Structure 1
Amino acid sequence: MKKSFLSIAFFATIIFSSSLAVKSEQKYFAISDTSKLEVTPQVLYDGLNSPWGMVWLSDGRMLITERSGEILVFKNDKFTGEKLSGVPAVFAQGQGGLMDIKLHPDYKANGWIYITFSKPVGELASTAVVRFKLKGNQVVEKEDIFEAKPALKADFHFGSRIVFDKDKYMFISVGERGTQPKVQELDNDHGKVHRLFADGKIPKDNPFVGQDGAHGSIWTYGHRNPQGMVYDAVTNRIWEDEHGPKGGDELNLIEKGKNYGWPKASYGINYDGTILTPDKQLPGIEDPKHYWVPSIGPCGMTIVTSNKYPGWKGNLLIGALAFRHLNRVTLEGTTYKSEERLLQDKGRFRYVAESPDGYIYAVTEGPGTLLKLMPKKK
């Protein structure tokens, strides 16, 4: 993998470090000074319990998922005190539980809402997707769309995010669940990004359809724990971030049929300090567009399309769990340019999204808050 070049006024030596690195180590990040926009985090609610995803409905309600299996209902930036009923049972152990939530691109016409979650399969669990409609706050017309196979005992690295592209294909990120070598094999769903029709059927032009033993839903492979993914409608690109081991968190551009290397190539090392792999790049392995050492714990992400944040349009906003901040990443085409740390120590940023009226919202854990980013008026 080619090393990312950091175009900033000062360049710091990159070292290996734990994802639990202390603040003093943050000097190893590239920091952008291209925008002096100030934002103030307005706390809208501080009673969240391990939030994961959020989405706005056409009737003005906002839904926030919690890993325990709850979906909370907000309206006018306030918690209504209501929750959805009839949500599928989740495997709420370890890192598992209810995770992402997305609307079908034609939601106003068809009413479909999609959730990802760790599904209990006997004593095992699997990353799964269900779609449903709402009747008031009641979940109705539930349909199973996807289940990563095989189900496994591990209670970590489930992924998982959903995005839809301009052609209304659905992309699902699935973590490797500790399988490591199996990630490089196409006879299982782990450590992959999958592409499906909105009803769960497999498109015939997926890259591995018809290949002996391969799962046809696979779009890309070689991922570790992809917890962030966003579709850029302007450029028709999908961006993904994933957790490395000890160091080596990645920002990737997701492209058809490509291998992203885990665990054959990585900038990270094992948690005990031993060498995971001697290779940072290999033939046939797609380079990350950027990597973080030490690990920031990248999670949910969005791309800014709003005019409310001067200088931010087209930037990626990425939640950072380990360093407890929001990352604003600037790009030049598909090339990483720089980043800025925002809202330091406001919590472990699990997800960030842009509302229909153009404001940026974020959810954190430790503390569990819903924040609205208010641009400072000049």
Structure 2
Amino acid sequence: MYRLKILTVFFTYSLFFLPALLMAQDGRALYDKYCATCHGKNLEGGDGSSFIDAVWSYGDGKNAVFRNIKYGILNVGMPAWGSVMTDDDIRTLMGFIFDQENKSGVSPPPIAKEITTEDYKISVETVAEGLDTPWAIAFLDERHSLVTEKNGQLRFLIDDKLQPKPVANTPAVLNEGQGGLLDVAADPEYAQNGWVYLAYSHDLGTAKTGKSRSGAMTRIVRGKIKNNRWTSEQVIFEAPHEKYRTTRHHYGCRIVFDSEGYLYFSIGDRGAGDQAQDVAYPNGKLHRIHRDGKIPEDNPFVKDKNAIPSIFSYGHRNPQGLAFHPSTGELWETEHGPMGGDELNKPIMGLNYGWPEITYGINYNGDIISEFKEKPNMEQPVLHWTPSIAVCGIDFYKGGAFPKWENNLFVSALKYKQLARLVIEDNKVVKEEIILKNAGRVRDVGITNEGVIYMVLNRPGKILKLSPK
């Protein structure tokens, strides 16, 4: 009876733990075969990065790591292993790597308090933390700025101190998927009129539609803040309700103003790429309106009775970066591609930027979206990032804090967790410098009139301030 009990315990142990042991051994064997030469026998790094230093330079989520292994990171010399490993092999390998990382007990390094760039030594200060997926920052004056949180909260920073109470009475947002409270912008004449603009995901509500999943679309409103309360709200853009979609991703959205006071904003394709090519739909477009919501008479599609009259340009996937060049006044835009093909564009009124007819990316499952990278009457990006860095908010440098960087474009990236500085000459990117990396997913970058740089981070939800050392 005693022997039977021992055998039963052994069998039970084997049933539950042997597959895990075999998987670990298979993961070790796969690692030794395909990874150890570059990443070190004990995952300590070599020609490739370490897996046990808690730093993931090209995306740390399971989906990102899976795609990096399967499809490679060709611009840094990492080959695609999908042709020699099955998907199950890749998952087994990932399990081994993540297990070894956990066993190492290493935590991500703290954010550096000082960084050295090619031109300057910079002080890095955390001015706000504990935010719930902060999305954007807008500067009202030298002392006051506003930060949006995806959950719908609008928060003041006063003298670089986060105020504990959010602004009351802000519009209800659909905080679901990629939706929520997105961009915030101050009117060019804010000191005189007090207008603040918000972009957010607006849903029609299940009760209204009678559907189990209500339609939603990006909406733009403006209002004034008095005694920490949102007042005087005006809706300045709302798409026709029949154009709303039940998907919960690719809302865009950024808001910027040109030197004449026109307001520009972006809406992502909302997961319907074909609609980005159809001017009867608002999604997959850049839009241009007056600050009170009226449509400019010279917009390119105002005479097309079937078109959305606010459309400025079309064929965009998910634009989350807009900025005007301080010297030339030209509009620049960044947008998320699929797997590969993030883009930097210089949008021009009425032109087609190709999505999804042309793209430098492929689908997340490896399928081909389009065989074409270019077609007649479709514009090419100034720059594309392949693989994707998950490019996000942008801003041109202005101000006196770092004079050597005047007119350089600062570009944020979520997946690559970086802030980069691009030098642009004759509409070409001639140089790129990574300013800060691995502090968190960089959602937005904003630059004050004095030239101080602010970074909006997700995971962790923080605001960083970069100023001269």
The match for 2:447 among 343, 354, 367 is 354
The CA deviation at 1:26 is: 8.5
Q: Distance in 1 between matches of 2:416 and 2:74?
A: 8
Counterpart mapping for 1:116-265 below 5 A: 116-122=199-205, 123-149=214-240, 150-265=243-358
Question: Which residue in 2 is equivalent to 1:79?
Answer: 162
Per-residue CA deviations over 1:183-215 (Å, capped at 9, x if unaligned) read 111101000000000011111100111124111
Pair 1:158–1:354, CA change in 2 (3 A)? same
The CA deviation at 1:227 is: 0.6
2:339–2:362 contact (8 Å) kept in structure 1: yes
Question: Which residue in 2 is equivalent to 1:5?
Answer: none
The CA deviation at 1:159 is: 0.1
Q: Distance in 2 between matches of 1:317 and 1:345?
A: 16
| TM-score, structure 2 as length reference | 0.73
The CA deviation at 1:359 is: 0.6
Question: Which residue in 1 is equivalent to 2:172?
Answer: 89
Q: Distance in 1 between matches of 2:379 and 2:434?
A: 27
Does 2:115 align with 1:67? no
State the secondary structure of the residue aligned to 2:424. Answer: strand
2:343–2:385 contact (8 Å) kept in structure 1: yes
Pair 1:330–1:34, CA change in 2 (3 A)? farther
* Structure with the higher helix share, 1 or 2: 2
Question: Which residue in 1 is equivalent to 2:398?
Answer: 305
- More relative contact order, 1 or 2 (CA 8 Å, 6+ apart): 1
Does 2:196 align with 1:113? yes
Amino acid at match of 1:143: Q
Amino acid at match of 2:165: E
Q: Distance in 2 between matches of 1:267 and 1:351?
A: 24
2:399–2:448 contact (8 Å) kept in structure 1: no
Q: Distance in 2 between matches of 1:168 and 1:222?
A: 25
2:399–2:449 contact (8 Å) kept in structure 1: no
State the secondary structure of the residue aligned to 1:363. Answer: strand
The CA deviation at 1:66 is: 0.2
The CA deviation at 1:110 is: 1.1
The CA deviation at 1:19 is: 5.9
Question: Which residue in 1 is equivalent to 2:437?
Answer: 344
Q: Distance in 2 between matches of 1:261 and 1:27?
A: 24
Question: Which residue in 1 is equivalent to 2:407?
Answer: 314
1:165–1:233 contact (8 Å) kept in structure 2: no
Q: Distance in 2 between matches of 1:109 and 1:167?
A: 16
Pair 1:277–1:19, CA change in 2 (3 A)? farther
Amino acid at match of 2:455: A
Does 2:183 align with 1:100? yes
Per-residue CA deviations over 1:69-121 (Å, capped at 9, x if unaligned) read 00111111111212100100000000000010011111111111000000121
- Structure having the higher Rg: 2
Q: Distance in 2 between matches of 1:137 and 1:373?
A: 27
Per-residue CA deviations over 1:32-67 (Å, capped at 9, x if unaligned) read x99443333211122111111111223722110000
State the secondary structure of the residue aligned to 1:52. Answer: strand
Gaps of 5+ in 1: 1-16
Gaps of 5+ in 2: 1-58, 78-115, 206-213
* Structure with the higher strand share, 1 or 2: 1
Question: Which residue in 2 is equivalent to 1:282?
Answer: 375
Q: CA RMSD in A?
A: 2.1
4+ aligned runs moved over 6 Å, structure 1: none
Per-residue CA deviations over 1:239-267 (Å, capped at 9, x if unaligned) read 10000011000000011101000000000
2:401–2:450 contact (8 Å) kept in structure 1: no
Q: Distance in 2 between matches of 1:34 and 1:45?
A: 24
Q: Which moved more, 1:175-184 or 1:38-47?
A: 38-47
* Identity within the alignment, %: 39
Q: How many residues align?
A: 357
Does 2:396 align with 1:327? no
Question: Which residue in 1 is equivalent to 2:128?
Answer: 45
Pair 1:34–1:375, CA change in 2 (3 A)? closer
Q: Distance in 1 between matches of 2:372 and 2:263?
A: 32
Q: Distance in 2 between matches of 1:37 and 1:247?
A: 32
